Amino acid sequence: MIADTDRRPILETPRLRLEPLVQADADDIFPIMNDPEVMAHWDCGEIDDPELVAEIVRGQVSDMAAGKSLYWSIRTLDDDRFLGCCDLSEIDRWHRRAEIGFMLAREAWGYGYALEAMRSVIGYAAASGLRKLGARTHLGNRRSETLLMTLGFSEEGLLRGHVLRDGERRDCHLFGLLL
């Protein structure tokens, strides 16, 4: 079960390679996080400061080093094109559970990349001994909700007013998958 923090896995699918996130990936993540359409259903709006994105990635890399999370960049196998990132975060070894997340560049939407990447992450989680995965979406994020249900997740609840964004409270759906 996800115990060896020195060996961060590289996952491959027929079209994708998921490599552990490194600080240099911040340059590729910035345009995605600067896209208002991509960020429409996130806890914060688009980010127009590359240094802030670099700081976020630094925190994620630090969480990986501490064994709290695994973050991957998603790249195409054929031309090494950066498509986005995904993760297993909030890893709880005692209860054998974690949260999943994913973010793709808008140009990568609609090609099945998120489904392919997340199937690989779920397979890795199960092989690592995790037995429950959770995910959270903002109300109205039909694309992510559909993806989660296609992956076998079930809706488990509603968090009313869970996120404060742009001066308004937003509701979130909770999803879960038993492995």
Domain ranges of the chain: 11-133
11-133: which CATH topology? Aminopeptidase (3.40.630)
7 confidence band (pLDDT: 50, 70, 90) = low
Contacts of 77 (CB under 8 A, 6+ apart): 12, 14, 15, 16, 17
Beta pairing partners, 18: 11, 74
Tell whether the model's pLDDT for residue 33 goes beyond 90: yes
pLDDT given at position 8: 85
* Cα 59 to Cα 43: distance, rounded to the nearest angstrom: 17
Each residue of 12-31: b (16+ CB within 10 Å) or e? Answer: ebeebbbbbbeeebbebbbe
Angstrom distance (rounded) from CA 179 to CA 177: 6
Per-residue pLDDT averaged across 22-40, rounded?
97
Task: Please name which of 101, 140, 136, 97 lies closest in space to residue 118, comparing C-alpha atoms.
Answer: 101
pLDDT (mean) for 18-28: 97
* 143-154: pLDDT as tens digits: 999 999 999 999
User: How many Å separate Cα 162 from the centre of its chain?
Assistant: 19
Question: Residue 1 — pLDDT band, cuts 50, 70, 90?
Answer: very low
Mean pLDDT, all residues of the chain: 95
d(CA 9, CA 172): 30
- Res. 2: pLDDT tops 50: no
Two structure tokens written together for 64: 């990986």
pLDDT at 54 exceeding the cut of 70: yes
What pLDDT, on the 0 to 100 scale, is given for residue 5?
42
Query: What span, in angstroms and rounded, lies between the C-alpha atoms of 84 and 39?
Result: 13
